[in-house]
Structure 1
Amino acid sequence: MTLINFGSMRNRDGRMLMDGAASNLDTTATIDSLVMVKKIPIDVINESISKIQKKEEAYGKLNELLANFKQLSDSLRNSPTYLSSSSSVFDSTVISTNCNTSTPASYYLSATTASGAVASQYAISDITIAVAQSKSVQGFTSNSASIVTATPTDGMFEPGTFQIGSTSITLAEGDNLPTIQAKINFLSATTGVKASIIQLASDNFQLTLSSTNPGVANEFTITDHSNIFSNCTNVSWTSVGASDAILTINNQAITRSTNTIADLVPGVTFTLLNSTPSTPGDNTSINVAVNPDTNKIAETIGLYADGFNEIISFIDKQKERDPKTNQLIEDAVLGEDSVLNIIRNSLMNDVYSTVAGANPNFNDISDIGIKVAGYAKGQDNNKIGIMNLLEVNTTDLLSNISTNLANVRQIFETTFVSDNNNFAIYGRSNNITATSFSVDFDKTRVADTGQTYVDKSGVSHTVNNAATVRYTDASGRPGSTYLYYDYNATANTTRFWGLEGSALEGIELLYFGTGTDLANINLTLGVAEKSYQSTEDVINPKDGVLKGAFKYLSDQTKEQEATMKLREKDMEDYRRLLVKQFAKVEEAVSKVNTLIQFLDAQDSVKNNSKN
């Protein structure tokens, strides 16, 4: 008897499958093969998601490089805006000291600089250091034994209370020197007096009370109404009076109550360590030189160039192609993204730009020892191509910083100079093209009729002040609609801003005058200022270019994942359908086999009856 058997049902991972067919038909493999056709688009989606993730990682790296370059740009650009202090590296200074005698200057004083220090020279002489007041008593034979008792003998105190200034301190029966020291020091923040113990000999200890700070202003008084100290016998008292610090700087006599003097020269702190000789005719003098920190400035400019090169190299690597196939290499996941070209071109335009309004002999980076050149090696050491990298000649750069610092810093920084202090810069952008202009403001002039414009944020503005504010460029050409203003009654300030599309687009000025003023203004935007603004436009988390790129990739990932879920559901539904269909086949085969068995049985009975 021949039976039909396509297989039997079994459970695998929660799915009903058929296998083990006697006819050698592997139903599980058959279903898997049919389902694999449905899996092909899922694999395509997974590959697409993987590519998106690689793009996100690449954009993350680019964002990191841009953030670093923005920070470096910020350290070089200066920030001459209202209520802001400069953080430019060009303000960094370093101090050197020397003495006109064989004694090193460091024996007499030390000096440090901070923000605001101006390069200069200071001649310091006739130093007398400030001294703290002190009162000492010696003659105590033990450091640990009690020296306070109601029946004192030599070298002992009676219990009682004394005052340092207006603060009371009580000595109690059984107190020893360390206990008394602790009681005094516990109140040092209030009294300005500290206590110390000195062992002069094995059987001679000294207790000293001294001002926590030197100078006459920090003198203290002790009031001993209980006669604690005056009744103590067989001890000796010594006192040192307080005195102020005295020195001569650039032939000017100076007196201070402290040896740490921070209010003499802005940004410079002098610490007096020892007095100069008081011998008649002694001419000891210490020269203190505050100089620009040329090494730090050059180092920062070098880091700025490195930061720029890293960005350009990264972007160009994303454009690298296999020389044999001319296809983008595997790691060049952003090669087709146009935003990279926008970023690259913007930064190159900023860094290579000529600074309008600067000294014609020092108005771009090539004037200070930085040139544009270089190749980079790509896959298999193939040259990617000219990458416009910056090469810094450190020797030339240091020389220019040392001899032409003002010109070097103007290449990088923002400068704002107004002949009227009622005007201050508050904001600026790379869209400003005016470098020298005049602002004529008169609130009493008749204003023009309303003019309306829409700013970059899509906000509509109507202004009536074109005649009130008049702009004139360096050539005397008027541009009455370049500036507008509004008045903030709370802050009592007037704000001017430049019209979009004008030579002053992006500028914001604050005005503090009475309403009728004229200002002649010179403004330059250095390369670091421009690169700072450009990188900010790219990485700003609120509305930067990269935010849009990240959002687009995120949306693409969500869309692909949603599609993949639908495809996976479709694949599982198809598998279930196949299982049901093969189950029906199994059922049909089973019925046929039953019928065959029945017919075979009938034939067998019939044959037996004949026999």
Structure 2
Amino acid sequence: MAESLTSIPGVSSGIDWSSVVDAIITAEKRPATRLQATITANAKKKDALELFRQAMQSLQSAADGLRNGKALDAFSVSAVGADATGRGVLAATVGTGAVGGTYAVNVTSLAAAQKTVASTGWTGTQTLASGGTLTIGGKPVTLVAGEKLSEVRDRINAETARTGVQASLLSMNADGSDQRLVLTGQKTGLVNAFAVADDTNGALVAALGIGGAPAVPASDATFTLDGGATPITRPTNTITDAIPGVTMTLGAKGTSTVTVERQPNAGATTMQAFVDAYNKVQAFVKGQSVAGSPLQNDPLLRSVRGQLATLVLTPAARVDDSGVPTAVVDDMTSLGALGVSVQKDGTLTFDRAKFDAVYPSRMGDVRAVLSDRMSTAFHFADDITGTFTGEIDKREQGMQTQNATLQARIDEFDSRLAKKRTALLAKYARFEASLGTLKSLGEQMAAQFSGLNKSSDS
């Protein structure tokens, strides 16, 4: 009976009990609906806080490059010079720690890996007459009698990680009737040269034909820098420690001129990036002040907006906390000296000409003021965006805890109201059944009275 009341009106009463019950439950669920609205609002706040985090992280990233000076030290490098065949003597790339300058490099030899080619060949069906142990680069490799040359190759390659030597086969004839074992060192330089011996009095080495002089001996790279009289040697053609912050990859013998230059736009480009990131934060904060925004009147955003301006306007310290003078000079204590100024609406502008007047001619002074102000900016942003300890994470953790508590209360409401709905439906079903019984009795009594009246008339 209760189930039928969920879909049809009462047969006897003509009342839609299901709608009545739904109205009762909806009215009693209003507190839970308000709790759900809070959860939904928290979700919107979290989304907005994540957008705020991204804006602050961009500001932090720009400040980081300026506080440690890396953004100011952007250099480019070029290498000019080729051998008689037109091959470039070297290629160069620049990294951190570079210093502007021009360097003359004369490459007299290249580093090479040892390559030993067997002096005797094998047929495709030829096998080892007896087994034994080869020693390659001081490491043992066990060979087994009856193995073909390809199996010998595979056994050597199984130990490449220890020996530093890889084996391959060279077919001297197209039909494969003259196969030679080739041993190649995996690293260049004299330090990686290898010798081959065996424990069979030279029988294995002789059978494989690898006891002679290497076809390509291991060698070091040799070069001079700026006409130096003493050659510089390295076991590799990739040179990372000759010119500060520059990696040279040697490719041919000959001379090359390597030029390292500071990128003139590096400082200004990074300063502009900081200004742009700052203005995006301000725009986000301003946008959230509009009525209906998820973070309207949020205390964190109000605090950030006020502190950002202070961050830019506050001068760099001339002395540290211990009273020791810093590197900051009197005429360059603020970002204003670098062309950064605060507008009435809280945004920043950047005067490139003013910045170029001191960069890079007064690089030390520029570094000093940026180290102070951008360190403050970096840590300010980190206090907001930091994992677990940052203000955004603490806010989100608080909302997560609140949502869990609210959801538990909503679930409790739903459970209690579901039971109440079932009880009400059952109650009205019983009422409908009783009403139907009364209606049936009434109809029977009316029929009886009607019969009595007819009998009385006759």
TM-score (norm 1): 0.58
Q: Secondary structure at the match of 2:46?
A: helix
The Cα of 1:275 is off from its aligned counterpart by 1.8
Q: Which residue of 1 aligns with 2:191?
A: 217
Whose RCO is larger (CA < 8 A, sep 6+)? 2
Output the CA distance in 2 between the equivalents of 1:25 and 1:230.
Answer: 109
The Cα of 1:339 is off from its aligned counterpart by 2.1
Q: Which residue of 2 aligns with 1:47?
A: 37
The one-letter code sitting in structure 2 at the alignment partner of 1:337 is D
The Cα of 1:341 is off from its aligned counterpart by 0.6
Q: Which residue of 1 aligns with 2:247?
A: 269
Q: Kindly indicate whether residue 224 of structure 2 is the aligned counterpart of residue 248 of structure 1.
A: yes
Q: Which residue of 2 aligns with 1:144?
A: 124
More moved, 547-556 vs 252-261: 547-556
Q: Which residue of 2 aligns with 1:445?
A: none
Output the CA distance in 2 between the equivalents of 1:405 and 1:306.
Answer: 23
Output the CA distance in 1 between the equivalents of 2:262 and 2:445.
Answer: 110
Q: Identify if the C-alpha distance between structure 1 residues 548 and 171 changes in structure 2 by more than 3 Å, giving closer, same or farther.
A: closer
Contact 1:164 1:191 in 2 (8 A): yes
Which structure has the highest strand share of the two?
1
Contact 1:161 1:226 in 2 (8 A): no
User: How is 1:44-443 mapped onto 2 (pairs within 5 angstroms)?
Assistant: 44-78=34-68, 88-99=70-81, 107-125=88-106, 127-138=108-119, 140=121, 144-146=124-126, 163-164=135-136, 166-167=138-139, 177-199=149-171, 202=174, 207-223=181-197, 225-226=201-202, 241-252=217-228, 253-258=230-235, 259-265=237-243, 267-276=245-254, 284=255, 286-292=256-262, 300-320=270-290, 328=291, 330=292, 332-357=293-318, 358-368=328-338, 370=340, 372=342, 387-391=345-349, 402-413=360-371
Q: Which residue of 2 aligns with 1:533?
A: 379
Output the CA distance in 1 between the equivalents of 2:171 and 2:409.
Answer: 86
The Cα of 1:335 is off from its aligned counterpart by 1.1
Which structure has the highest helix share of the two?
2
Say what the alpha-carbon RMSD is for the aligned residues: 4.6
Any stretches of 5+ residues in structure 2 without a counterpart? 319-327
User: How is 1:480-495 mapped onto 2 (pairs within 5 angstroms)?
Assistant: none
The Cα of 1:66 is off from its aligned counterpart by 2.8
Report how many aligned residue pairs link the two structures.
441
The one-letter code sitting in structure 2 at the alignment partner of 1:274 is A
Q: Secondary structure at the match of 2:231?
A: strand
The Cα of 1:342 is off from its aligned counterpart by 0.6
Output the CA distance in 2 between the equivalents of 1:37 and 1:242.
Answer: 89
Contact 1:35 1:575 in 2 (8 A): no
Q: Percent identity?
A: 22
Q: Secondary structure at the match of 1:122?
A: strand
TM-score (norm 2): 0.74
Output the CA distance in 1 between the equivalents of 2:173 and 2:104.
Answer: 44
Q: Kindly indicate whether residue 451 of structure 2 is the aligned counterpart of residue 601 of structure 1.
A: no
Deviation readout 1:125-176 (Å, 9 max, x if unpaired): 2532234455444463x66352x666xxxxxxx9776644544556666655
Output the CA distance in 1 between the equivalents of 2:142 and 2:406.
Answer: 81
Q: Which residue of 1 aligns with 2:396?
A: 550
Q: Identify if the C-alpha distance between structure 1 residues 149 and 59 changes in structure 2 by more than 3 Å, giving closer, same or farther.
A: closer
Output the CA distance in 1 between the equivalents of 2:423 and 2:262.
Answer: 79
Contact 1:62 1:311 in 2 (8 A): yes
Contact 1:216 1:257 in 2 (8 A): no
The one-letter code sitting in structure 2 at the alignment partner of 1:95 is V
Output the CA distance in 2 between the equivalents of 1:600 and 1:120.
Answer: 121
The Cα of 1:62 is off from its aligned counterpart by 2.0
Output the CA distance in 2 between the equivalents of 1:143 and 1:227.
Answer: 18
Q: Identify if the C-alpha distance between structure 1 residues 400 and 188 changes in structure 2 by more than 3 Å, giving closer, same or farther.
A: farther
Output the CA distance in 2 between the equivalents of 1:183 and 1:588.
Answer: 97
Contact 2:165 2:186 in 1 (8 A): yes
Output the CA distance in 2 between the equivalents of 1:48 and 1:162.
Answer: 77
